[in-house]
Structure 1
Amino acid sequence: MKFFIKFITLGFAASLALFKVSVADDRPNILWIVSEDNGARWLGCYGNPAKPTPTLDKLAAEGFRYERCYSSIPVCAPQRFTWITGINAISAGTQGMRSGVQIPDFIRYYPEIFQDIGYYTSKGKDAKTDYNHRSNRSGNDFWNEPKKLEWDVLKQKQPFMHVINTHSTHESRVFGAYNPNKHTAPKAGNLAAYHPDLPGIHFVYEKYNEAHRKMDAEVKIWLAELDQSGLAKSTIVIYSSDHGGVLPRSKRFLYNSGTHCPLIVRIPEKYKNLYPASKPGDTVKELVSFTDFPKTWLNLGNATKDQVEQMQGRSFLGKETEPNPEFVYSFRNRMDDRLDMVRSARDNEFLYIRNYMPFAAVGQFLPYLFNSQAMRDWKQHDLDGRTDAVTSRFFKQPRVIDELYLYEKDYDNVKNLAADSANAARIKAMRAALRQWQLEIFDSGFIPEDEMGQQAAKYELTVYEFVRNPELYPLEQYIDMADKSLELDSKNLGCFLEALNTPFVGNRYWATLGILNLSFVGDSTKDNNVLNAMQALLEKTTESQVVKAYAAWVIVRSGNDKQGQEALDFLKNLGYKTYSFRTVLNVLDWMDPKHSFPVMLDIYLNGKQSGDSARVITNHLISQASAEVAELVEQHSKAVNSITNHEKRLRNYSQKPENISAEKIAKQTTQSQAELARATAVEKELRAKLEAKN
């Protein structure tokens, strides 16, 4: 009898285990298709009159279209970090574009958690591995299949989570001659209010519509393959972009054009209990942040709360969803080599933007962005004095500190309501909500990136750990001082001078920026106490180089010729081989060129800059110099590039590549040596002419 009972018990346990597997296997597959750089309004179903996306429009009719979905940060790599971890990039110090910031090993990636709950994880078709941080793990280590899309394998491995990334709408697709119809490009039917009516801009609009047609055709193929595999009835299909874009003033910026993103979710009939609205084809108006994505996808797979504990978003789909938020938040910091710090809060009606570095123009020169003909034509239009109050605002320096928009009625965000006293209470409330969020997620931006690496390394901590230690990173104090720096009230001058003597670098940084901001609205920086305090910062050997760079700018702006020249010399020396070079470069570019030009020319001729840094310096010199000097700089830059290219070729030839014959290597080596000698002679001659001009 005991044996019989034991047999029955074991049989029941086995049946229960099989039942659990069956239940687990009945969970939905997830196919997430991501396109790059395109805001919501580029899709036909979101209002693009060109209607370049019939496949995605059909998907929206078969599924649910989210009307208020916003990226956390309007640029790709930091957004990928936010997705892969569920942690806002500013919470870990990875918000700078192409960041190499280390993160703790205990931070997990969402594909790992999917594997924990029994999902097969894979990505293919150009799925990215650049997650904008350093880690002891490779970007491919936490996927079962990191490179291929194989429907037969997915069919065997259900449930699965598969990610497809398409590059077809990437910003680079509007460079060059991508659109074969460029000579007959129609006028854009959705020209933004901030864009001037120029042929070059209409041309790029049509190029980007063409990019969407290509992307949409790819999606059509993938969805057809999903159907043919027999997996469509058990697979939730998600389509989104990775942020907004891609015309100038969209990607990288916190306006609708940079953060409002498409999100379409098609849910099979068998999972209709997961519908976010009554029926397919409906739209969903709840606020969604991209930070919510990984937590929500895991919720669809029935992950537990403990398994997603590190994640900062909310679950908006699945059996157990979280309440709709009152606000969603976005952030902007360094974009390539250009510095900035902007935060935004958005409710169901208003978008509030807080500019922490108002002394820099929104549309400062950024090399990659200026590869676009639309950007170059717009900038030239402004330099020619042909822009109006709306189309010129992008280039104004300084810019406004607070921006407030009715973001659906004013989709292009050109009617700033912040100055209207009737909105003072609203701004105060939204700023308070923003502050609370910054405290909750440990916003790491209140020590600038160049300095943050130094501070965290001093204590052998990752930035993630450093900002969570209030004894090292007193965030409330820093936000208070940053807010004071933006009040533009000379009554705060005493507070700033006092803060320069505190032990916390963040307080000294924001106090210095407060004094700098005052220099744009009055003459308080000519006060001897201010000049002496700034000079003391330059002379203090233990002071942050970043703080010193801004202090030097304050001195230059004071109008004191002797001290100003000494400050410029200090900046020039700081511009060589220092951890703060990026800060120095930006300060010099923001500065009045009558002061900065000689320093920039010296750094250009004697520094070892390359890539974006070199392009920023070259652009500064060409745009600010006389026609003669600009031509010399342009010719010299070409000579330097020629030298670099021929040196690279010679190094390659010295390796004796197997695919090139010895005879050809010898011939090409001789040619490159001759070209290198010519370029070197030209560079030397042009250098002498430029040095004579400085």
Structure 2
Amino acid sequence: MKYVFYILCCLTILSCKDKDKPNVLWITIEDTSPQFIGSFGNENASTPVIDKLAKEGVRFTNAFSTGTVCSASRSTIITGARTFRTGTGHQRSQYPIPNYIKGFSYYLKQLGYYTTNNSKTDYNIANEREFIKEAWDESSNKATWKDRQEGQPFFSVFNFAESHQSRTMSWSFKQYVKHVWNHLPEEDRIADNAFEMPPFYNDTPEMRKQFARVYNSIKLTDNRIGELLQKLKDDGLKDDTIIFFYGDHGEGIPRGKTNGINLGYRVPFIVWFPEKYKHLSPWKTGEVSEELISFEDLGPSMIDLLGGEVPEHMKGKKLFSGNSNDKNELLLLSTDRVDNGLDLVRSVTDGKYIYSRNYMPFIPEVRYINYLEIADITKHMRKDLKDGKLNALQSGIFNERPYEVLYDIENDIWEANNLAGNPKYKSIVDNMRQFMDAELLKAKDIMFMPEYEMAKISEKQTPYEYRLKTSEYNFDEIYKVASLSGKKGKDITKAQIAYLKHKNAMVRYWASIGLMSQDKASLQSYQKQLNKSLLDNYPPVSITISALLYQKFDKNNKAIEVLNKYCKSSNQDWQLSLMSINYMLYFKDRKPFETAVVELLERPNLKGHVKSACHDFINSQKIKNTI
């Protein structure tokens, strides 16, 4: 009887302990920048539910996604590990990660929490189904807190897609009307003339009709959040639940989402504490925090807040520790390939300024990404560009980028004025550049590896672990050459040409990437060496040098042959096809490649990213042929 009594006492104590644990509700909205939320300063927005959360909670003005597209940002959120360590930066690449890296919610389950996800995953890793099963008690579009055991605390995520890029731009206007406009009461609908246009868009009736979709989609999202919070209150749970609200990355519009600038990274972020758990908050009710936070901090902060031990692979800060040493002074951010659009940008911010290093600057901000190209707003922009109706800022987003930019994001929220070349800001640029270099070298950024190589590595081991093998992945040497990319002049060209003979294939690759930014005059005396490198046995080098020779030197026939060959690579080597077509998309004369692209598009089981690039080539080529 004493033994039974002891067991009952223990169970009672554990039950009481569980009841003392807070519930946690995460409200995630898609593709939204704080510039479009009322409580973050937009007087044209109608977001009363979000604004009330901000007034009663803590509003963070310097919260940043660690990527600029959903799968990359969600990879960091769920694992607590940065994409340039795990190799998960390319959208929907799904390369393997080590078995010991688990979703942060797995650790909450070990603490007795009932974990649910409703319902987006998109974690961008191999074996995602098994990973999800281990991380969540339930992950579906019906998941909620209701099926937990009596007295069991919950951690629940609700993801709202009403603000997604599909609604704000990529779906047809008819679909937008059906899924957004028709779900808004008449008094909630925001008219085409009821807001200010960002200055990098041409302010025309056609553009306003499309851009109003952003405001109406966010308004519908706000309504949906209100319904969820009412459900929480009706279930008698609000007084026991800490509420988080945030967007998964920047606004889903041209020049926002997918771009390595503030508009791609910065997100709205709010935390609301019920009276019962206000003691867990280092901040006061209604406080506005300028603390720098990123998605790398979310996993370790949740585990720490709820009483767990943070795993070694999670390097983020514990936001609720109240420890002044546990604060970020600078944040390193990153963006890589998005769908069929190649890119590699690394950025640093202190909240007031953002510095971005474009390692493929020959690709413009509004680059060919099929999900953007099918949108009416992008079509209007390209037509206005063709008709000469855009000013320097508006047309500039279609041009080659500077290799580095610095924006004052407090006073220039639309990032119109690049300060990187201004001597007044030299110390800021130098400090951020040095921080970025040191952090990337320490992390051994695996995303500098061509994706063609990463796919092959992933057949035998994880990119996360491979990057640590200095004898195989000599990142110091690779980064030294990659850091020349975008810089111009005879001395830089000479060094890049010399690196084309390096024994390390990835060093040669970055030498070829860097040469893409050099002008014809700088390359003129090196044609013999370039023609040799055109036949390099490492395909990413051969493809890039072929693109360079075709673009700079009167349509080199051998270059045409090489590009067409790699364009039609096997489905297994789809990365080579994608690379080839991406270069072709920016050629003035694409006619020599039309047949190869059409033949590729007819191939069965073609990789989605490659298919998207083919469609961009064909559709834009039709437009070119009518000019």
Global fold match (TM > 0.5): yes
Contact 1:119 1:161 (C-alpha < 8 Å) held by counterparts: yes
Distance 2:51 2:148 in 1: 26
- The residue that corresponds to 1:267 in the other structure is 273
- The residue that corresponds to 1:505 in the other structure is 505
- The residue that corresponds to 2:288 in the other structure is 283
User: 3-state SS of the aligned residue for 1:625?
Assistant: helix
Q: Does 1:534 align with 2:530?
A: yes
- The residue that corresponds to 2:472 in the other structure is 472
Give the drift of 1:154. Answer: 4.2
- The residue that corresponds to 2:341 in the other structure is 338
Q: Structure with the greater relative contact order (CA < 8 A, sep ≥ 6): 1 or 2?
A: 2
- The residue that corresponds to 1:524 in the other structure is 522
- The residue that corresponds to 1:586 in the other structure is 582
Q: Does 1:621 align with 2:621?
A: yes
5 Å matches for 1:191-270? 191-270=197-276
Give the aligned residue type for 2:138. Answer: E
Distance 1:13 1:319 in 2: 37
User: 3-state SS of the aligned residue for 2:115?
Assistant: strand
Distance 1:560 1:60 in 2: 59
Contact 1:512 1:551 (C-alpha < 8 Å) held by counterparts: yes
Give the drift of 1:425. Answer: 2.6
- Give the one of 439, 442, 445 matched to 1:440: 442
- The residue that corresponds to 2:50 in the other structure is 56
Distance 2:94 2:232 in 1: 37
User: 3-state SS of the aligned residue for 1:216?
Assistant: helix
Aligned residues: 603
Distance 1:393 1:216 in 2: 34
Contact 1:525 1:554 (C-alpha < 8 Å) held by counterparts: no
Distance 2:104 2:560 in 1: 48
- The residue that corresponds to 1:688 in the other structure is none
What do residues 295-320 of structure 1 show as CA deviations (whole Å, max 9, x unaligned)?
A: 11222211113xx3211321112576
Give the aligned residue type for 2:37. Answer: L
- Give the one of 568, 573, 578 matched to 1:576: 568
What do residues 455-474 of structure 1 show as CA deviations (whole Å, max 9, x unaligned)?
A: 454xx222112112111111
- Give the one of 138, 141, 151 matched to 1:145: 138
Give the aligned residue type for 1:193. Answer: P
Give the drift of 1:324. Answer: 1.6
Give the aligned residue type for 1:478. Answer: I
Farther off after superposition, 205-214 or 76-85: 205-214
- Give the one of 423, 432, 442 matched to 1:430: 432
User: 3-state SS of the aligned residue for 1:491?
Assistant: helix
Distance 2:205 2:149 in 1: 49
Give the drift of 1:171. Answer: 0.9
Farther off after superposition, 475-484 or 138-147: 138-147
Farther off after superposition, 65-74 or 148-157: 148-157
What do residues 248-267 of structure 1 show as CA deviations (whole Å, max 9, x unaligned)?
A: 21111122322221111110
5 Å matches for 1:100-499? 100-124=94-118, 127-135=119-127, 137-138=129-130, 140-142=132-134, 143-147=136-140, 148-154=142-148, 156=150, 158-174=152-168, 175=171, 176-177=173-174, 178-179=176-177, 180=181, 185-278=191-284, 280-305=285-310, 308-318=311-321, 323-396=326-399, 398-457=400-459, 460-499=460-499
Distance 1:504 1:426 in 2: 34
Distance 1:574 1:51 in 2: 48
Contact 1:254 1:331 (C-alpha < 8 Å) held by counterparts: yes
Contact 1:299 1:320 (C-alpha < 8 Å) held by counterparts: no
User: 3-state SS of the aligned residue for 1:517?
Assistant: coil
Distance 2:562 2:89 in 1: 29
User: 3-state SS of the aligned residue for 2:370?
Assistant: coil
Distance 2:548 2:382 in 1: 28
CA separation of 1:559 and 1:235: change in aligned 2, threshold 3 A: same
What do residues 495-553 of structure 1 show as CA deviations (whole Å, max 9, x unaligned)?
A: 323322323222111111222322x2x513121xx32333223334xx22111111112
CA separation of 1:456 and 1:214: change in aligned 2, threshold 3 A: closer
Give the drift of 1:565. Answer: 1.2
Give the drift of 1:11. Answer: 8.3
User: 3-state SS of the aligned residue for 2:407?
Assistant: strand
Contact 1:103 1:135 (C-alpha < 8 Å) held by counterparts: no
What do residues 97-118 of structure 1 show as CA deviations (whole Å, max 9, x unaligned)?
A: 1112122222111111111122
Give the aligned residue type for 1:432. Answer: Q
- Structure 1 runs (4+) deviating above 6 angstroms are 10-14, 181-184
What do residues 119-138 of structure 1 show as CA deviations (whole Å, max 9, x unaligned)?
A: 111122xx113211212743
Gaps of 5+ in 2: none
User: 3-state SS of the aligned residue for 2:357?
Assistant: strand
Distance 1:236 1:271 in 2: 8
What do residues 535-590 of structure 1 show as CA deviations (whole Å, max 9, x unaligned)?
A: 223334xx2211111111232244266xx111111211121124211000011112
Give the drift of 1:487. Answer: 2.7
Give the drift of 1:18. Answer: 5.4
What do residues 168-227 of structure 1 show as CA deviations (whole Å, max 9, x unaligned)?
A: 111111332324499993325231121110212211232222212221111111111111
CA separation of 1:319 and 1:349: change in aligned 2, threshold 3 A: closer
Give the aligned residue type for 2:527. Answer: L
- Give the one of 74, 85, 99 matched to 1:91: 85
- The residue that corresponds to 2:557 in the other structure is 565
Give the drift of 1:14. Answer: 8.2
Farther off after superposition, 550-559 or 382-391: 550-559
CA separation of 1:227 and 1:389: change in aligned 2, threshold 3 A: same
Instruction: State the structure with more CA Rg.
Output: 1
Distance 2:485 2:138 in 1: 50
Contact 1:43 1:52 (C-alpha < 8 Å) held by counterparts: yes
What do residues 332-353 of structure 1 show as CA deviations (whole Å, max 9, x unaligned)?
A: 1111111011111001321101
Give the aligned residue type for 1:472. Answer: E
CA separation of 1:136 and 1:340: change in aligned 2, threshold 3 A: closer
Gaps of 5+ in 1: 1-6, 628-694
Give the drift of 1:151. Answer: 4.5
Distance 2:130 2:323 in 1: 33
- Give the one of 523, 537, 545 matched to 1:551: 545
User: 3-state SS of the aligned residue for 1:111?
Assistant: helix
Distance 1:224 1:379 in 2: 44
CA separation of 1:268 and 1:606: change in aligned 2, threshold 3 A: closer
CA separation of 1:17 and 1:221: change in aligned 2, threshold 3 A: same
Q: Share of identical aligned residues, percent?
A: 26
CA separation of 1:208 and 1:348: change in aligned 2, threshold 3 A: closer
User: 3-state SS of the aligned residue for 1:362?
Assistant: coil
Distance 2:524 2:529 in 1: 12
Distance 2:93 2:128 in 1: 15
Give the aligned residue type for 1:511. Answer: A
CA separation of 1:559 and 1:380: change in aligned 2, threshold 3 A: same
CA separation of 1:34 and 1:560: change in aligned 2, threshold 3 A: closer
CA separation of 1:151 and 1:362: change in aligned 2, threshold 3 A: closer
User: 3-state SS of the aligned residue for 2:483?
Assistant: helix
CA separation of 1:368 and 1:188: change in aligned 2, threshold 3 A: farther
Give the aligned residue type for 2:104. Answer: Y
